[in-house]
């Protein structure tokens, strides 16, 4: 029998999707599963994007330019200018989601065996992209106790080796929702310049900033014109995850030319997705005002609710629509599976993503879960009630820790 490659065997399963069979079984038993495990918003896609597909009048669905339709790239350049990011359409390559942008960037910037430093916890699929490109992920730890702020630069310096070629950040962050400040980005700027590194900035949640906070793009950092790689996507911005349209952006002409060759090899990004995405650029500002207001209320219901449960710690994020909670339990993977296999509260249970998959060492996230507040407010309230009841019933809950926390609080 033919063997599977080492890379194929090492490709990790998604911590976000691996519990799907247990959720499906729970639903067959009649339990309503509240899906907080995945960043699939229930927010309606802008009508202007849907109309572009509904009213499409074409006789051929053709390839686009490998970099994407020029009209769309020009529209994107105008969009970025409104956010203080000044680029041209010839510095943008439209990709099959932000995932392909990251893959192309890693393959073009790094040799096999090179290292990229990523603050953890980080988006689990970064591991898969790095493995595909032959790149080694080197984690630098952020902690729940300071809300997952950027680790000190000394921690980055301690990890730099001759094989270190880049740093990757997600801002606002997935899974933490942390939003980097100007001061934190300036500290990254210093280390990138000092060691002549690439700075990959995954900014797909740019629009979602709360409590008066402002997103600052890595593309605005002075002196990094040749170093910054911006990764973007329409998936979350316009609630268009299925469109599979992202963008790779760089001012580095040599890097752009290299990534374009990768793009030519896969021919073109999706035609329908680009049509919808170009139309979505005309989404009125009122759409985002309403969406952000809704997410703030959802965040407050979920995060504030979790923090009323004795023994639970959950920093309040300033961006994206995720939070990480630390629970008084023995093992988050076991708990999340137990919720789906053995528990229901008033006919409901909760599906979450164990944080073991968001750390390089799974043991680090052993008691943490990621929750996505992408559902309607009543369901989030039910989720908090479910988790409160579940922690009281779960055999692996540290009841002493909960009692101590309740006494202190």
94/186 same-domain check: yes
Q: How far apart are CA 193 and CA 362, in angstroms?
A: 32
Q: Note down pLDDT in tens along the chain; length 409 residues.
A: 998 998 889 888 777 678 999 999 999 999 999 999 998 899 999 999 999 999 999 999 999 999 999 999 999 999 999 999 999 999 999 999 999 999 999 999 999 999 999 999 999 999 999 999 999 999 999 999 999 999 999 999 999 999 999 999 999 999 999 999 999 999 999 999 999 999 999 999 999 999 999 999 999 999 999 999 999 999 999 999 999 999 999 999 999 999 999 999 999 999 999 999 999 999 999 999 999 999 999 999 999 999 999 999 999 999 999 999 999 999 999 999 999 999 999 999 999 999 999 999 999 999 999 999 999 999 999 999 999 999 999 999 988 877 777 777 6
User: For position 392, which CATH number holds?
Assistant: 3.90.1150.10
Any domain includes 99? yes
Longest dimension (CA), the chain: 69
64/39 same-domain check: no
Q: How far apart are CA 283 and CA 47, in angstroms?
A: 8
Whether the CB-CB separation of 40 and 374 falls below 8 Å is answered with: yes
Residues 6+ apart with CB under 8 A from 257: none
Which pairing describes strands 353-354 and 368-372: parallel, antiparallel, or unpaired? antiparallel
- How many Cα atoms within 13 Å fall on the side-chain side of residue 376? 3
Pinpoint the alpha helices (H) of 83-148: 97-109, 125-133
Measured CA distances, 110 to 106, 124, 129 (Å): 6, 20, 12
290/309 same-domain check: yes
Please say which residue of 236, 254, 280 terminates a domain: 280
Determine phi and psi for 333, rounding to 5 degrees: -60, -45
Any domain includes 404? no
DSSP 86: -
81/225 same-domain check: yes
Give me the domain span that covers residue 389: 6-44+286-396
Task: Please state the domain count of the chain.
Answer: 2
What region, left, alpha or beta, does residue 382 occupy, with left being phi > 0 and alpha being psi -120 to 50 degrees? alpha
145/167 same-domain check: yes
Q: Which sign, positive or negative, has the C-alpha torsion 51, 52, 58, 61? A: negative
255/325 same-domain check: no
53/31 same-domain check: no
70/180 same-domain check: yes
Any domain includes 408? no
157/32 same-domain check: no
Q: Is the peptide bond prior to 121 cis by the omega test (within 30 degrees of 0)?
A: yes
Q: What pTM did the predictor assign?
A: 0.94
Q: Residue for token digits 């300071």? A: 146
- Give buried/exposed letters for 54-92 (b at 16+ CB in 10 A, else e): eeeeeeeeeebbbbbbeebbbbbbeebeeeebebebebb
236/188 same-domain check: yes
Apex CA 25: angle with CA 19 and CA 29, to 5°?
A: 140
Q: Residues in the chain, how many? A: 409
Any domain includes 219? yes
Any domain includes 312? yes
Residues 6+ apart with CB under 8 A from 87: 77, 80, 219, 249, 251
380/330 same-domain check: yes
Q: Is the peptide bond prior to 172 cis by the omega test (within 30 degrees of 0)?
A: yes
Burial of 159 (0-12, 13-18, 19+ CB in 10 A): middle
Any domain includes 402? no
Please say which residue of 249, 280, 311 terminates a domain: 280
Please say which residue of 216, 248, 280 terminates a domain: 280
- How many Cα atoms within 13 Å fall on the side-chain side of residue 295? 30
Any domain includes 378? yes
Any domain includes 348? yes
User: For position 248, which CATH number holds?
Assistant: 3.40.640.10
64/102 same-domain check: yes
């Amino acid at each position: 029998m033919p063997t599977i490659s080492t890379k194929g065997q090492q490709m990790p399963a998604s911590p976000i999707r691996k519990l799907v069979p247990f959720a499906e079984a729970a639903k067959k038993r009649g339990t309503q599963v509240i899906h907080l495990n995945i960043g699939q918003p229930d927010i309606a896609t802008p009508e202007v994007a849907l109309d572009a597909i509904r009213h499409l009048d074409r006789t051929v669905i053709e390839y686009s330019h490998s970099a994407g339709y020029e009209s769309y790239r020009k529209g994107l350049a105008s969009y970025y200018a409104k956010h203080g990011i000044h680029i041209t359409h010839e510095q943008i390559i439209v990709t099959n989601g932000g995932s392909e942008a990251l893959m192309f960037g890693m393959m073009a910037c790094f040799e096999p065996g090179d290292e990229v430093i990523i603050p953890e916890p980080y988006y689990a699929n970064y591991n898969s992209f790095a493995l595909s490109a032959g790149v080694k992920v080197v984690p630098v730890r952020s902690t729940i106790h300071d809300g997952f702020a950027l680790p000190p630069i000394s921690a980055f310096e301690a990890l730099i080796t001759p094989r270190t070629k880049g740093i990757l950040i997600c801002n606002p962050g997935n899974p933490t929702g942390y939003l980097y400040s100007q001061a934190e980005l300036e500290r990254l700027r210093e280390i990138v310049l000092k060691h002549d590194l690439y700075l990959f900035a995954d900014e797909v949640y740019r629009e979602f900033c709360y409590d008066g906070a402002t997103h600052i793009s890595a593309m605005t950092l002075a002196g990094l014109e040749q170093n910054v790689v911006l990764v973007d996507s329409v998936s979350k911005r316009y609630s268009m995850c299925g469109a599979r349209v992202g963008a790779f952006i760089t001012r580095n002409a040599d890097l752009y030319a290299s990534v374009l060759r990768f793009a030519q090899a896969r021919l073109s990004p999706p035609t329908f997705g680009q049509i919808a995405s170009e139309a979505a650029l005309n989404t009125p500002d009122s759409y985002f005002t309403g969406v952000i207001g809704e997410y703030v209320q959802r965040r407050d219901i979920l995060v504030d609710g979790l923090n009323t449960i004795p023994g639970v710690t959950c920093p309040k994020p300033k961006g994206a629509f995720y939070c990480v909670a630390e629970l008084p339990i023995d093992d988050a993977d076991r708990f999340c599976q137990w919720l789906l296999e053995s528990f229901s509260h008033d006919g409901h249970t909760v599906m979450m993503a164990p944080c073991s998959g968001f750390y390089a060492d799974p043991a680090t996230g052993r008691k943490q879960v990621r929750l996505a507040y992408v559902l309607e407010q009543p369901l989030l309230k039910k989720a908090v009630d479910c988790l409160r009841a579940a922690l009281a019933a779960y055999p692996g809950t540290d009841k002493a820790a909960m009692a101590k926390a309740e006494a202190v609080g």
